[in-house]
Amino acid sequence: MRLIRTRAYARAGLLGNPSDGYFGKTISLPVRNFWAEAVLYDWPELEIVLARQDRCSFNSLGELCEDVSLHGYYGGLRLVKATVKKFAQHCGQQGIGLSDDTFSIRYDSNIPRQVGLAGSSAIITATLRALMQFYGVDIPREIQPNLILSVETEELGIAGGLQDRVCQVYETLVYMDFARELMEGRGYGCYEPLDPALLPPLYIAYDTRLSEISGVFHNNIRERWRREDPEVLEAMRDFASYAEQGRAALLAGDHDRLAQLMNMNFDCRRRLYRLAPRHIEMVELARRLGASAKFAGSGGSVIGSYRDEAMYQQLQQAFQAAGCRIFKPIIQ
């Protein structure tokens, strides 16, 4: 019996997000502290196994309400099911014949849910990798993020951009250019892996009480962008510029400039979006201690740089006192 086990890691946006869905530029990094895993093996029928995150049994009415408040009504089961369908469709469109072999597949994830660390796309990426290995299909690396994104946007109606999926496919620090001419011309952007050793010391902090479905977070801005709202168009150009300048700062070893750009990225976002006060407090807490801070994704987690271990200890005490978890991201 074949037994296939694949992983995909959490992701944190360093600069430029959320311009990836708007022909912008971003820099993103994998967070290997957390991952989603798919396990696939030969089985007499095609079976998708419920995971612990797809719980349907509760000890009380209150426990059910708490679970829905934190995680919404959807687990990862629909992500796996939609990925299997999209994979089959893609192979059919590309003239790739698949065997009649059937399998059982299950997933698991320890990525904090709905706090902007790309837990959903990690489940899809791990599932796609398992399917590719099971059927012996090689999908070009630059195409995989598009397929992963289409699972959410086309099958499930979840808004998003390519940043998460590119980072999770490439599994390193990546500078991404999603220029319109590239996306509309060849269908994918320019993805440049960068050496993680160029990064300054980084922290990530998150609060699971801030769970928020990213599709809801992005919807209003996307509609304004489609209407060519000048404020949104200008902000997306600014986000892209921060990523472009951030790449130059990394290559020059200018960590102070990188920190400035991260703060500017959040300030721009704050002007454009209506943000939850608790989200803003997390950023301001870090800044009061001298660290830079911005959202790692759609909200609920922040990423920033710090000067030295003494500053990190201050951050750790402050975030823990505020009911947040903080850690140093493992990138490679």
Which one-letter amino acid corresponds to residue 308? Answer: D
Q: Among 316, 224, 320, 211, which Cα is nearest to 273's?
A: 224
Alpha-carbon gap, residue 117 to 111, rounded angstroms: 7
Number of H helices, E strands in the chain: 11, 10
Tell me which of 42, 54, 101, 164 is the catalytic residue.
164
Alpha-carbon gap, residue 44 to 324, rounded angstroms: 45
Residues 228-250 as b/e (b if ≥16 CB within 10 A, e otherwise) read eeeebeebbebbbbbbbbbbebb
Which one-letter amino acid corresponds to residue 270? Answer: R
Q: Tokens 């990690």 belong to which residue?
A: 122
Q: Is 275 exposed, middle or buried (0-12, 13-18, 19+ CB in 10 A)?
A: middle
Q: Judging by DSSP bridges, how do beta strands 3-15 and 301-305 pair with one another?
A: unpaired
Count of C-beta atoms within a 10 Å radius of residue 284: 11
Asked if residues 67 and 211 have their Cβ atoms less than 8 Å apart, the reply is no
Count of C-beta atoms within a 10 Å radius of residue 38: 28
Catalytic (active site) residue 177: no
Which residues are tagged catalytic?
A: 164
